[in-house]
Amino acid sequence: MTLRDTLSLSFRTVRSNRLRTGITVAIIALGITALIGINTAIVAIKQKFLESFSSMGATGFTIRYQEPRRGFHNDEVKKEKRGAKKEKKSNMGKPITVRQVEAFKTAYTFPAQISANIMGNRSAIVAYQNQKTNPNVWLVGGDENYASLNGFAVLYGRDMNSLDVETGRNVCVIGKDIATRFFGENVERPVDKVIRVDNIPFRIIGVLKPKGSTFGRSLDNLVIISYTSVRRYFNSNPNASFNIQVKVPDIKMMDGAIGEATSAFRPIRQLTVTETDNFMIDKSDSFAEMLIRNLSFVTIAALLIGVITLVGAAIGLMNIMLVAVTERTKEIGLVKAIGGKRKNIRYQFLYESIIISLLGAAFGIILGIILGNIVGILLSTSFVVPWDWVFTGVIICSLVGLLAGLYPAIKAGKLNPIEALRYE
């Protein structure tokens, strides 16, 4: 028997036992669906993380307020290493002020874009004439560089400029959701109209391009005003702190930019050489990287679920192949009687086992990609296919089919042709 004849016979046998084959294929497909589906969803989530938390790209970082560390009971002994920097208690809990921001802008001479921002309100109400929004609008105080450094672009009108920030004009740039709610789809209508943000009037100077949503929060449901206006009207929290964003033109300049930012900001924060930093510097993609690392546990869980399911499928497949050997004992004897060799019999049963396993892989991969991309659709990401896990799934299923069919194939090859022909 040639290889083609053996394969053809294996396909016919698999096709003739549809119920048995279907049940085994379904079990294998279930394990591969779990493996591919979860990892497809993880790839989609990673895309969303990188889009959401890395708006400045790999060339940006943020200087932010460091929360003071909570103290312990008085009876706890604190040990410090000799030569280690000490925390400055008098300045540890102080937020970053507008004066420090302006001083940093003056002192920082590195070739980079700098933006300062402060959160105004996460539950603002925006009104126009007799209409108003729900109390879920994000109000942000920024400057002329805030929009570009945070991945926003002006769709119509203009962005804020330095004069708007310095004079504290009551002007604003609004997101697409707010523009659509009050003025419809015409992006020209909102410009130069006056809206009220928590009953304070602001003139619209620009409409932002839509960015979509992240984890249930729309990035287009926001109003950007100058941080001067936030301090004047909305800064009810005395501990509200500014964030300073810095973006360099080349990733190779990141380390130098961070080092110079640290050395420039330490004197502004009134730190001596022996004192530790009382501010944090975060790379723009550091939070996303941290979350992505945490997703590795989900990947391991998906792999364990898939492996456990596939082990059960392998046991079921081996049992089915052993039953097939028993049922087809006379057929095996006939093949040997007309000249079939042991290896032909072994190959036939191995091919049948591998074919069933690969059919399960095919259905599982397709179903897993579909289910995983449903998560992607909910997160508004592009269609993803985790090719590495697709190939891994095919290899795993091939091994499952090979191992599950190995013993039945050896058993079938060892049958005595005379005893096999007399088998009832």
pLDDT digits (tens, 9 = 90+) for 326-352: 777 777 777 666 666 777 777 777 888
- Comparing CA positions, the residue from 242, 248, 230, 104 lying closest to residue 165 is 230
| Range of weakest confidence among 47-51, 96-100, 305-309, 371-375 | 47-51
Q: Per-residue pLDDT tens for 248-270?
A: 888 778 889 999 999 999 999 98
- Is the pLDDT higher at 309 or at 165? 165
pLDDT of residue 419 exceeding 80: no
Averaged pLDDT score across all residues of the chain: 80
Most confident of the following: 255-259, 288-292, 295-299, 410-414:
255-259
Return the pLDDT at 308: 81
Mean pLDDT of 171-191: 92
- Is the pLDDT higher at 296 or at 261? 261
66 close to 280: Cβ distance less than 8 angstroms: yes
Return the pLDDT at 401: 83
Mean pLDDT of 406-424: 69
Mean pLDDT of 399-419: 77
Res. 377 pLDDT band, cuts 50 70 90: confident
pLDDT of residue 72 exceeding 50: no
d(CA 240, CA 234): 10
pLDDT of residue 22 exceeding 90: no
CA distances from 105 to 143, 242, 245 (A): 12, 13, 11
Exposed / middle / buried, residue 394 (Cβ in 10 Å: 0-12, 13-18, 19+): middle
Phi, psi angles (nearest 5°) of residue 42: -65, -40
Return the pLDDT at 81: 46
Q: Per-residue pLDDT tens for 125-167?
A: 999 989 999 999 999 999 999 998 888 899 999 999 999 999 9
Q: Tokens at residue 84, please?
A: 């280690």
| Partners of residue 282 on adjacent β-strands | 62
Return the pLDDT at 143: 93
* Cβ neighbours around 99 below 10 Å, total: 10
> Domain extents for the chain?
3-53+289-421, 58-72+86-283
Look-up: residue for tokens 């799934």?
393
SS3 assignment for the chain: CCHHHHHHHHHHHHHHCHHHHHHHHHHHHHHHHHHHHHHHHHHHHHHHHHHHHCCCHHHEEEEEECCCCCCCCCCCCCCCCCCCCECCHHHHCCCCCHHHHHHHHHHCCCCCEEEEEEEEEEEECEEECCEECCCCEEEEEECCCHHHHCCCCEEEECCCCHHHHHHCCCEEEECHHHHHHHHCCCCCCCCCCEEEECCEEEEEEEEECCCCEECCEECCCEEEEEHHHHHHHHCCCCCCCCEEEEECCCHHHHHHHHHHHHHHHHHHCCCCCCECCCEEEEECCHHHHHHHHHHHHHHHHHHHHHHHHHHHHHHHHHHHHHHHHHHCHHHHHHHHHCCCCHHHHHHHHHHHHHHHHHHHHHHHHHHHHHHHHHHHHHCCCCCCCCHHHHHHHHHHHHHHHHHHHHHHHHHHHCCCHHHHHCCC
- Comparing CA positions, the residue from 164, 212, 219, 175 lying closest to residue 197 is 175
Mean pLDDT of 312-325: 79
- Is the pLDDT higher at 356 or at 420? 356
* Cβ neighbours around 332 below 10 Å, total: 23
pLDDT of residue 65 exceeding 70: yes
Most confident of the following: 72-81, 360-369, 372-381, 383-392:
360-369
Return the pLDDT at 234: 86
